[in-house]
Amino acid sequence: MTAHASDSPTFATAVIPARGGSRGVPGKNVAPVGGVPLVARAITSALGAALIDTVYVSTDDTHIADAARAAGARVIARAGELADDTASSESALLHALDAMPSEPEILVFIQATSPFIDPADLDAAIELVHSGAADSVFSAAPSHVFLWREGADGAEGVNHDASQRLRRQDSEPQYRETGAFYVMRTAGFRAAGFRFFGRVGFVPVAELGAIEIDSPDDLRLARALADILDFPDAPTTPTTEEKS
C-alpha cells in the first residue's frame, strides 16, 4: 500500500502526548538521548513512516512545544487539567482529535518515552488496522522470561509450570507491551473511549530497543543503547589483534 498523503490527507495521524510534569525523571520528554530530545526522536520516527500524514504533539509545556515544532510536528496546547498526574492518555488523545481540522481514519498514539521506534513498525501496525485484520494494535516485544509471584505457600510460577523447565527454543514466546505505540481506528476509539477495543492485534518489535523510560536508570540505559541502535553499522573499537 502506498502513502495516502495525496488522496486522503486525514488517513493516519500521529499524536504524541507529552506533558511537562514528570516526577520520576524531571524534564523527561525533552531529555536528550543520542543528543536528541525524546519528543523529537518520537516525531522523527512518525515522520519516517510512509503511512502517517501528520504528526501532532499535545503538551502543556513551552519547552516541549518548541522542540516539537523544531522537529517538524504541529502542536496542540493542552490545558492543565488534562496534563496532571491523574489525566489519562486517552483524555489527551480525545482532546487532540477535537482540536484537529479533520478527523483521521486511523489514529497513531506514540509515546516519547520510547526512543527507538522503527518507522517500519508503525507502518506495519497501520496496515493491520487499515486492512481490517485488527481494530487496535500495540507494539510488543517477545519474551521467554519465567515470571513468579508470592503465593500462600511460597513462590509460585505465573506463566509456567515450575516442574517443567522448557528450553527457550522449545517454548512459545509471550509478548510484553512495550508502550511505544498504539494504532487504532479512530471511530472505534471514540466509541470505546479506550485504546484496546474490538479485535486487538500487536506488532512484534526488536527486543533490544524495546525500552520505556520511566526512571533515571532507564534513561541511562537508553543513552548507552543509542550508540548501538542509532549507528548500527558503525565500526566497533578495534581489538589488540586488529590494531596490530
Active site residues: 165
Q: Per this entry, what is the length of the chain?
A: 244
Q: Alpha carbon 193 to chain centroid distance?
A: 19
**Burial of 3 per CB tally in 10 Å (0-12, 13-18, 19+):** middle
Report how far residue 145's alpha carbon sits from residue 97's, in angstroms, rounded to the nearest whole number: 38
Report how far residue 123's alpha carbon sits from residue 151's, in angstroms, rounded to the nearest whole number: 42
Evaluated on CA atoms 138, 139, 141, 147, the torsion sign reads negative
The SS3 assignment for 149 reads strand
- Structural contact between residues 49 and 124, judged by C-beta atoms closer than 8 angstroms: no
The DSSP letter of residue 170 is: G
Provide the total of helices (H) and of strands (E) in the chain, helices listed first. Answer: 7, 11
If one counts every other C-beta atom within 10 angstroms of the C-beta of residue 105, the result is 16
If one counts every other C-beta atom within 10 angstroms of the C-beta of residue 222, the result is 23
User: What single-letter amino acid sits at 130?
Assistant: H
